[in-house]
Amino acid sequence: MDSDIKESIESMAKEIRTQAQTMKVDTFLAYLYTSDIINKYLYMVLADQQVSRAGFNILHILILNDGTMLPSKISKKTLRSKYSVTRAIDTLEKQGLVERLPIGQDRRTRRVNITRKGLEVVKNATIDSRERISHDIFRTLDRKQTEELNSSLKTLRKHVLTLIDEIIAEK
């Protein structure tokens, strides 16, 4: 490895370690690391499911929005790119879990509807797995710790969504 790169890495590592000593930076890094680990766990546990995590997310969003939405709205709700959402919807449609229907005379604009099969998949897959996964992940926390974590995460989520809106407004 080039000595300049090695020095840059060492310098950056030292800077990260120094920053991590402050409570908020340490907490931020711990959150990111924990989030990555939980995502990896979920990927492994849900690997045998017929629907991807992105697909389940879209199905849940549809259910919470009366079963029908425009793809652009799904993209905003899931915080995923339109391309990513389109690919996931394509897969869900091939599986018969959603259908795309035209809106009026404009064949370019289509709404996405969840199907009965989609509802059944969500109902059957999530009731058991949500309970089991959430129990497995949070069993080391007592009730008070779980409530405090949930409250903190809600506060963070609202704040970060506000930050996202500010960034979008600036563009």
Summarised one tens digit per residue, pLDDT across range 47-82 is 777 788 889 899 999 999 999 999 999 999 988 999
d(CA 68, CA 108): 17
Res 21 pLDDT > 90: no
pTM, entire model: 0.66
Q: Is residue 27 part of a domain?
A: yes
Q: Is residue 114 part of a domain?
A: no
Which residue segment(s) compose the domain that 19 sits in? 1-45
Give the pLDDT confidence of 77-107 residue by residue, as tens digits. 988 999 999 999 999 999 999 999 988 776 6
d(CA 77, CA 58): 9
Rg (CA), the chain: 21
**Cβ pair 66, 74 in contact under 8 A:** no
7-23 exposure pattern, b = at least 16 Cβ within 10 A, e = fewer: eeeeeeeeeeeeeeeee
Q: How many domains does the chain have?
A: 1
Q: Is residue 18 part of a domain?
A: yes
